[in-house]
Structure 1
């Protein structure tokens, strides 16, 4: 009897807590933009409290507009209806340079020898890996933001059909081969620079790869599994239980219900698998270990992997993919000739903060955002001015490895 009474008291307290939370949300929406309010509420919660409040929410009749209501789905499961994030206007969103000044660097589009550079990925909080080319030659270089200089790492042998680059703790790796169908050749170079070495050829249609420690890992297009091979070469080994998985960023892989929708997240080191709670009508969904971004109908959405904390984004923002380990990037839809419109928006899942990347020039079509040469979620989104990247004199790079935590 005492146990039942205690549970009733807990439920009453949880219901009161929820009502107070909703009232607080209403006040926050009146005095600050919704993204900041969501971030503050999220930081104040603990996981257990969030679960208990979700259970108590069924007893609440009135729900303040803009917060998440709990509804029953036809399959009997309970899911929060998404809150709607509103834009404060483009002038109300801070730029990446304002939010994270140490993480935004300007990288020359040409090195001191006149080689054309292209942003590949991040090597550290102060280093950006570059792919440089002159005629048919290719080499790897690194831009040192602390010194403002470019250093040559080494030449890329047989650069024809160079596809993607990955950075590990000891090596930089890349592979060459056709866009699809295979086979591909894997190569490595010491992270500090030096001679490149061919690891071996793999008769596979590689779609994603990485280099943790002294091992190459990759997944095969079409859900053909995940494989590994030491940098010393040898016979590739298929990791057990990886049918239907695509490597995202080691040790994480994703299962797909369709080519555009990820339905589970797997840790390949521990074997832990987590189902993604997909909302009805989802068209696309990509997930980090904790967070997902995608589209439902014509609107972008973000949520946790378990479906909690869902939010619907303004119709001006369209999902373009994931960045780093906790970000997503969204394209911007607005009037073609309107000034002040950002090229893209970066969304920080953990804080709810949005950051503008660049600004649309007056001439329609000028300026764009690139992601680099990594198959993992990019850590170096960059942008430039001008109608073609070939005309750029410099790149403005957001190095997510340098964003304060």
Structure 2
């Protein structure tokens, strides 16, 4: 086990998740987050959280590619995301027309961002909206039916024709709903008594995987009896059609195989010796090796050890299909760094202004697949103001679907 400071960085996720629950529930007190962070250091001192990242279809081709030697980049250079990708950064409202808090979930296109307005009270309906970054307009999609003891869904997926979500996360039963991407009335599709960890959509079906034992299930969008997908034993959905297996049940476990549930192709992940928290999608893999972040293809090709300044940020390390999110420390600028695993570019996210509260860069909160947006409050309040950075007037959003490939 590494030193306390290293562990604290790894446990950042637990505190971030509390902050996210505060956001969804409308709780503003950051002091509560700090107290929770302290408790987490004690309760989880023997464990670290799981980091998510990604692996490529090209790299998963099965060709005999040898793993490249680890390469340590030179001193890191950060370019602000706004300068690097000017068309991808915008301000979006943090309040609805009625004054409800609202936050980004994921990008739908190069200009459209899916937004969620959490319910005003537990068990009440929440709402989905779309914000157009180019037109600076908002369009209401429809209500998300109330979920017992929650103010928002536990997880959400975006398909070509529908949105899908589920909730509660640890309740019996768990319900699944869909809504057309054009908006409208939510339709109940299925329910299960098992704990769900991810949801996805195909052209005609809703799919999900189980929290503990794994396994992927499918039900038609028109409803019916769920069926378990053949060959999905032990697998957990990443982003349809991709799913992954783990090498153990340990908190620091690694992905050991990637499976395409449509083609049934299966690829072993070449995990470096003594690596931990390695996770992949169809584009890249990332993890931690001797206290350093690394990125690679699933077969080990193109492996790079990232600069020591970049630290694992959260269980959702992967953003989109090729980006890894890292942080530099509580007293260093920028707020966080997004590493483009395809090009090696490092984008600085936000500014850390003297005397202001630290405002975490947050992903889509709800998405089962890696979110294609990141957001933060650039106008964070002074530390002694008693105000929460989550009580924002507007969010600064990075829309990765607007980044040129």
Return 5+ residue gaps in structure 1 as ranges. Answer: 1-45, 55-78
Superposition deviation, residue 120 in structure 1: 1.3
The question of whether the paired residues in 1 share the 8 Å contact of 2:357 and 2:389 is answered with no
Superposition deviation, residue 257 in structure 1: 0.7
Work out whether 1:313 is the aligned partner of 2:298: no
Match of 1:110 in 2: 95
Superposition deviation, residue 200 in structure 1: 2.2
Match of 1:19 in 2: none
Match of 1:399 in 2: 399
Match of 1:99 among 84, 89, 101: 84
Work out whether 1:353 is the aligned partner of 2:338: no
Match of 1:237 among 214, 219, 227: 227
Match of 1:29 in 2: none
Over aligned residues, Cα RMSD in angstroms? 2.2
Structure-1 separation of matches of 2:357 and 2:299: 38
Q: Give CA deviations for 1:293-312 in whole Å, capped at 9, x if unaligned.
A: 11001111111111111111
Structure-1 separation of matches of 2:113 and 2:232: 32
* Cα distance change, pair 252–389 in 1 and its aligned pair in 2 (3 A): farther
SS in 1 for 2:87: helix
Which structure is higher in helix share? 1
TM-score by length of 1: 0.76
Match of 2:135 in 1: 147
Superposition deviation, residue 142 in structure 1: 0.7
Match of 1:190 among 155, 170, 180: 180
Structure-2 separation of matches of 1:238 and 1:364: 50
SS in 2 for 1:370: coil
Match of 2:278 in 1: 285
State the number of aligned residues: 326
Structure-1 separation of matches of 2:119 and 2:199: 26
The question of whether the paired residues in 1 share the 8 Å contact of 2:166 and 2:199 is answered with no
Superposition deviation, residue 230 in structure 1: 1.0
Structure-1 separation of matches of 2:331 and 2:158: 39
Structure-2 separation of matches of 1:287 and 1:47: 11
Which structure is higher in strand share? 1
Match of 2:16 in 1: none
Return 5+ residue gaps in structure 2 as ranges. Answer: 1-58, 382-387
Larger Rg: 1
Structure-2 separation of matches of 1:204 and 1:349: 35
Structure-2 separation of matches of 1:217 and 1:323: 21
Superposition deviation, residue 290 in structure 1: 3.5
Question: Which segment drifts farther, 382-391 or 264-273?
Answer: 382-391
Match of 2:268 among 275, 278, 281: 275
Work out whether 1:120 is the aligned partner of 2:111: no
* Cα distance change, pair 200–298 in 1 and its aligned pair in 2 (3 A): same
The question of whether the paired residues in 2 share the 8 Å contact of 1:293 and 1:319 is answered with no
SS in 1 for 2:233: coil
Superposition deviation, residue 86 in structure 1: 2.7
* Cα distance change, pair 305–106 in 1 and its aligned pair in 2 (3 A): same
Match of 1:362 in 2: 354
Match of 2:44 in 1: none
Superposition deviation, residue 173 in structure 1: 1.2
Match of 1:32 in 2: none
Structure-2 separation of matches of 1:135 and 1:304: 44
The question of whether the paired residues in 1 share the 8 Å contact of 2:327 and 2:336 is answered with yes
Work out whether 1:323 is the aligned partner of 2:345: no
The question of whether the paired residues in 2 share the 8 Å contact of 1:219 and 1:246 is answered with yes
Match of 1:170 in 2: 161
The question of whether the paired residues in 2 share the 8 Å contact of 1:337 and 1:362 is answered with no
Aligned pairs for 1:1-400 within 5 A: 79-88=67-76, 92-133=77-118, 135-136=120-121, 137-160=125-148, 161=150, 162-177=153-168, 179-180=169-170, 182-258=172-248, 259=251, 260-320=253-313, 321-333=317-329, 336-338=330-332, 341-363=333-355, 365-372=357-364, 373-385=366-378, 386=380, 388-400=388-400
TM-score by length of 2: 0.76
Superposition deviation, residue 365 in structure 1: 4.4
